[in-house]
Amino acid sequence: MAHIQGQGAPAAGAAPIGSQYCVCKVELSVSGQNLLDRDVTSKSDPFCVLFTENNGRWTEYARTETAINNLNPAFSKKFVLDYHFEEVQKLKFALFDQDKSSTQLDEHDFLGQFSCNLGVIVSNKKITRPLLLMNDKPAGKGLITIAAQELSDNRVITLSLAGRKLDKKDLFGKSDPFLEFYKPGDDGKWMLVHRTEVIKYTLDPVWKPFTVPLVSLCDGDMEKPIQVICYDYDNDGGHDFIGEFQTSVSQMCDARDGVPLEFECINPKKQRKKKNYKNSGIIILRSCKINRDYSFLDYILGGCQLMFTVGIDFTASNGNPLDPSSLHYINPMGSNEYLSAIWAVGQIIQDYDSDKMFPALGFGAQLPPDWKQYFILLIITDGVISDMEETRHAVVQASKLPMSIIIVGVGNADFAAMEFLDGDSRRLRSHTGEEAARDIVQFVPFREFRNAAKETLAKAVLAELPQQVVQYFKHKNLPPTNSEPA
């Protein structure tokens, strides 16, 4: 297996290569109970078909195996889908009694179906619902049970390394060593996945501990070989090769605090030429820890409740609701920008609220006092803020609490104040200079989405929410309620 040495100079403070996280994948398990019996001399032979909806059309996604002579099947084949919190992902589960070897569904007897959004399944973790016929009447006493489980490998590995007596490569100094980590690629070559920082003027470097996703380092395979190469940094990019060794995550896990693991750093050319060659130094793995980096989906499946509150701007700047120029005016089509924003976001967030009842607050109302769940305050406003200093202070204080604030600006006002509260470019501070603990505000101007589908607005509005939820619980060092150790 070949590798290319000298992949360019490591930039100071650069993000680790290969540290990006994978899309969350959800595995759905399906079972049926009390299915209709369509066979005369035996029981039904059911299988389940999953359909996904796109632009109003249902498309077959996948099928389970067929359960022979079984009215209470538990299918072993699972459905695996990408999970997107900010999108409405419509699903339909249809069960059929297999009568022929044909792949055409109209060749098989229909046993019933159930439709819902993926968010409903995820937020409940497991649901049981009645099966319906095409005319929406019950399919006898038939039931379907669907359970969700996250598939993404969200383990992270933290490594702490040092070097001892590395080869001297600089003519008038020592060496400027750094390490590169590689994993086998699909093309048979080594693929660079992480590069440490450079430690200047030393043969005994101590690198800062670093953390990378396990799937980036070894594709989640603890036994997969990992190539580690040590270089001496040169400004011209022609880094001098010091030595290399191979290991695996399984082997590195033997290193614990106080019980380091040592690897001989070998230069194959020197090893072939010099009979008394031992090594080009020692790389010391001081500690190796594997933990789970909990995702938003982990917290939702772990029982985290999202409590949504809608705050609506009723101030005078919106105009008289009876006047057609008012942002609150209900036109003959039965809508306005406030209603459109509520509908666009509501169709997503309703899946994560058990009673589908959302508190609606006018400006100045009191927020819920107990803070036992994570709250999302959706504010719809025309953008005029008359008490900016107090608002900044309130947002900074709220950044310490289990809360996110989503602001949708309606109308054509100047939204500079809202963009300032968003704090994407810099951390928000109160008028006293106190810095927000985290970014909890997401602002979206409705006017940019007037001619777009409502789903587009919802995706933009909810884009940062999963990250904000995870940031709060990680800052408080709170794992999901029913999480298991790594």
Say which range, 89-93, 279-283, 334-338, has the weakest mean pLDDT.
334-338
270-284, 294-308, 458-472 — most confident range: 270-284
Cα–Cα dist 99/479, whole Å: 48
Instruction: Report the SS3 class of residue 114.
Output: strand
- What pLDDT is attached to residue 257? 66
Residue 211: the pLDDT is 92
pLDDT band at 275 (very low <50, low <70, confident <90, very high): confident
| Confidence band, pLDDT 50/70/90 cuts, at residue 23 | low
For residues 83 and 466, what is the distance between their CA atoms, to the nearest angstrom?
Answer: 12
Residue 284: the pLDDT is 97
Closest listed residue to residue 218, CA positions, set 241, 242, 259, 251: 251
Q: What is the C-alpha to C-alpha distance for residues 6 and 18, in angstroms, rounded to an integer?
A: 17
383 or 343, greater pLDDT: 343
> For residues 140 and 132, what is the distance between their CA atoms, to the nearest angstrom?
8
How far, in Å, are 306, 347, 453 from residue 459 at the CA level?
17, 11, 10
First vs last C-alpha separation in the chain? 32
Q: How many CA atoms lie within 13 A of 365 on its CB side?
A: 16
* Predicted pLDDT at 365: 45
Least confident of 93-102, 328-337, 356-365, 417-426: 356-365
Confidence of residue 381 (pLDDT cuts 50, 70, 90): confident
Neighbours of 99 (CB within 10 A): 13
- Does the pTM surpass 0.75? The reply is no
pLDDT digits over 111-155, tens only?
A: 999 999 999 999 999 999 999 999 999 999 999 999 998 877 788
Tell me the range of 258-267, 290-299, 471-480 where mean pLDDT is highest.
258-267
Closest CA to 142 of 118, 99, 109, 104: 109
pLDDT of residue 13: 34
Phi, psi of 76 (to 5 degrees): -80, -30
State which H helix or E strand residue 219 sits in.
none
Mean pLDDT calculated for residue range 370-388 = 76
User: SS3 for 394?
Assistant: helix
pLDDT one-digit tens code per residue, 63-115: 999 998 999 999 998 999 999 988 889 999 999 999 888 889 999 999 999 99
Mean pLDDT of 361-369: 55
> Per mean pLDDT, which range of 207-216, 254-263, 329-338 is the poorest?
329-338
- The DSSP code sequence of 246-286 is EE-HHHHTT-BTTB-EEEE-B-HHHHHH-TT---S-EEEEE
pLDDT in the model for residue 286: 95
Amino acid at 103: T
Mean pLDDT over the full length of the chain = 85
pLDDT of residue 482: 57
Euclidean distance between CA atoms 484 and 486, whole angstroms: 7
Is residue 307 within 8 Å of 353, Cβ to Cβ?
Answer: yes
Helix 337-349 vs helix 454-462: angle between axes, to the nearest 10 degrees? 70
The tokens of 34 are what?
């009390």
- Collapsing DSSP states into helix, strand and coil, what is residue 69? coil
Average pLDDT value for residue range 411-439: 83
